[in-house]
Structure 1
Amino acid sequence: MELLEALNACNDVKIYSVEDEEFSSFGRIIKGYDFEELETYMNLTSQIPEDGNVYVASVEEMESGPVAEQIAASFYGGMPIQIGYCNGRNTTYNGFEYHKGSEINIAITDFMLVLGHNYDICHNTYDVSQATVFFVPKGTAIEMYQTTLHLSPLRVTDEGFKDIVILPRGTNTPLSQVEKQAKQQTGDEEAILLLQRNKWVIAHPGREPLMKQGAHGGVTGENKELFYPKE
């Protein structure tokens, strides 16, 4: 892969491919589903913002086709799902999130992901040096296990990235008042990381947008920026 080689030449951390064995503890490549209709929607309808990222948790048009039914019935074992997307221009680590249930990402463009394991969080602190960077080639569908720390993709071109995101329904939506109260009353230390429904977040303290949302600033170390080759 020429681009992967170029990315490694641009950065001082090793960048693996999701096709490498190193990805096996974080997730797997998914085969056997036809995602063409979702990819067509993304290419024709979704836009990459001029600055930052945009995340849409649920898109009705993407959830109405046969592949959505197949994913819900087979991959998620009959559980309801949501299909949305994350497009943007991110280049820094910023923090990590995890869910109780796997996440599917489908790369509409090439991008990178910074991944870790949630069992390496110790007393709500995570050392960013434990994270691993992976390149996801365009057209690849991956499962990220529920133990996998992740956040937004990182771009590998000036144009930015496009990524389809499939999750259990309700994930990444606001907590109700009852749920907020329940979070505050529990003695479980993990509760401090719960930011939205089925969304536990540990942020780098220097990532102001996440901190303003109420994320716990427990990521230690440098909030690294990853670079990509310029044409």
Structure 2
Amino acid sequence: MSKLELLRSLNANLSIFDINNKEFIPFGRIVEEYDFTSYLNYMNETDIPKEGNVYMASIPEMELQAPSELIKDNFYGGMDIQVGYCNGVNSTLNGLEYHKSSEINVAGTDMILLLGQVQDIIDNSFKSDNVTGFFIPKGKAVELYATTLHFAPCKVQDEGFRTVVILPKGTNEPLKEGLERKSKEDQLLFMKNKWLLAHPNRKLLMEKGAHPGIDGENIELFYKL
């Protein structure tokens, strides 16, 4: 039994697909035009926390490596970028975020991404049964479109997961103080270029003031018998 087949058998309540399946088309694409070897080599030396996740938005050493300049000039059309990573032992949905830009994830380990679509947000609420899981093999890179809801990956092995995260520079930095919120969408604005819906059971996000916008089960991914 393949890892994907095992994941499907253990998570009957969740649709899980390979990124090569047509089901991935609305959410993103596989990125194959860049050589991510230097990033992956760096990731091999990064630690995975024993609990929770760690997110480092910008790692200067990674940003100085190839293919950062190409990604800046070509993929983002000359916009400044930040290259960082997210490592952890997460196995639950907890929240869904989106940016007004694409994001590149490079899998430093096998992992699952739980994804949704902005179009399914109604009155700042998203039903968790609209989430789809996608298996990302180690070494593969994907572009997540600006309309794709996503959050931290889920682990599919005991050690946890590692993933490179590439975004426009400044994303996920604190918002300016006293920001006036005028529209309904403004209630979801959590950090710079980050709109977030949290599951109300995720106390850590609730305590930080996230909008409790996920309705339904806080999906948990099981990966072993």
Answer whether TM exceeds 0.5 for this pair.
yes
Partner of 2:17: 16
Residue 27 (1) aligns with residue 25 (2): no
Give the CA deviation at 1:14: 2.2
Q: Does 1:181 align with 2:179?
A: yes
Identity %, equivalent residues? 51
Q: In 2, Cα distance between the equivalents of 1:55 and 1:181? A: 24
Q: Among 191, 195, 205, which residue is 1:196 paired with? A: 191
Q: Could you tell me how far apart the structure 1 residues matched to 2:139 and 2:179 are? A: 42
Map of 2:159 onto structure 1: 159
SS in 2 for 1:216: coil
Report Cα offsets for 1:108-142 as digits up to 9, x if no partner.
10000110001110110111111111111111000
Structure 1 gap ranges (5+): none
Aligned partners of 2:126, 2:26: CA distance in 1, in Å? 18
1:92-114 per-residue CA deviation (whole Å, 9 max, x = no partner) reads 11110000000000001000011
Question: Is 1:217 equivalent to 2:209 in the alignment?
Answer: no
Deviation at 1:229, TM superposition (A): 1.6
Say yes or no: does 1:109 pair with 2:104.
no
Runs of 4+ in 1 over 6 A off after TM superposition: none
Q: Partner letter of residue 125 of structure 1?
A: S
Q: Residue 62 of structure 1: CA displacement?
A: 0.3
Letter in 2 for 1:106: V
**Shift in Å at residue 212 of structure 1?**
1.1
Whole-angstrom CA distance in 2 between matches of 1:206 and 1:108: 29
Residues 23-69 of structure 1: per-residue CA shift (max 9 Å, x gap)? 0000000011111111111102x110010000000000000123100
Letter in 2 for 1:95: G
- What is the one-letter code of the residue matched to 2:176? S
User: Which residue is 1:73 aligned to?
Assistant: 73
Contact 2:97/2:195, CA 8 A, preserved across alignment = yes
CA–CA distance in structure 2, aligned partners of residues 211 and 85 of structure 1: 23
The one-letter code matched in structure 2 to 1:88 is G
Determine the C-alpha separation between the residues in 2 that align with 1:9 and 1:104.
29
Q: Which residue of 2 aligns with 1:99?
A: 99
Q: Which amino acid aligns with 2:140?
A: T
Q: What number of residue pairs does the alignment pair up?
A: 224
Q: In the aligned structure 2, how far is the partner of 1:93 from the partner of 1:66? A: 32
* In structure 1, distance between residues paired with 2:214 and 2:179: 25
Contact 2:36 2:66 (8 Å CA) reproduced: no
Amino acid across the alignment from 2:154 = L
Q: TM-score, structure 1 length as denominator? A: 0.95
Change (3 A) 1:14 1:181: closer
> What is the one-letter code of the residue matched to 1:79?
M
Gaps of 5+ in 2: none
What code does the residue aligned with 1:149 have?
Answer: L
Tell me the secondary structure at the aligned position of residue 212 of structure 2: coil
1:206 is aligned, of 196, 201, 206, to: 201
Tell me, what secondary structure is at the counterpart of 1:66?
Answer: coil
